[in-house]
Structure 1
Amino acid sequence: MAESIRVEVVYALPDKQRLIALDVAPGTTMLDAARQSGIAGQFEGLELEKMPMGIFGKAEPDPARRVLAAGERVEIYRPLKVDPKAARRARAERSR
């Protein structure tokens, strides 16, 4: 059996979340692991090539090149509906 490493791929919507643990070959990139996990098939319209991704809360600029280490968790980020700064500003205005 070929050597492999254990990683996780996670994606969450407000009403549905998935965390998939899988074994991948050393040298597997974030994008490859996301594809191998099959997570895109569990969420309508999830296009992995277009989604920002990160490892444990730290965004990665190029998921197609970032090679994973054992135990890392690939997080697929969804677009924000509201800019966090604008939301804070609106809350501050309402509280006045």
Structure 2
Amino acid sequence: RARKLPSNPSQREKIKGRARLDYEMANMRAVAFCERQAPKVFRTASAHMRNRDVQFIEEEVKENMQRDIELDADDSDSIIVMKVDREELFERINTWIENVTKSLTT
């Protein structure tokens, strides 16, 4: 239960001033505490669960990427590269162009 304020105005102002000062000091201490705590990282159980889920997802993505890289390597191994002379290449291109123009005109 709250005490009654004294009837004397000067005593009342003194108590109010002290209360205001206590309030401001408490706010300053709270701000200082928050500034000290800001660099610290707080971990909760839910944060641990979220991080574990993220870690599983990252591992799965890495495995999929590695699998894709291995599949791509297999695909490139199956490609056979044949050497073609420059003249033979131009000749093939020219015959292809001629065949296309013939089919378009007929």
Using the size of structure 2 for normalisation, the TM-score is 0.21
Using the size of structure 1 for normalisation, the TM-score is 0.22
Larger radius of gyration: 2
Structure with greater contact order relative to length (CA < 8 Å, sep ≥ 6): 1
Higher strand share: 1
Higher helix share: 2
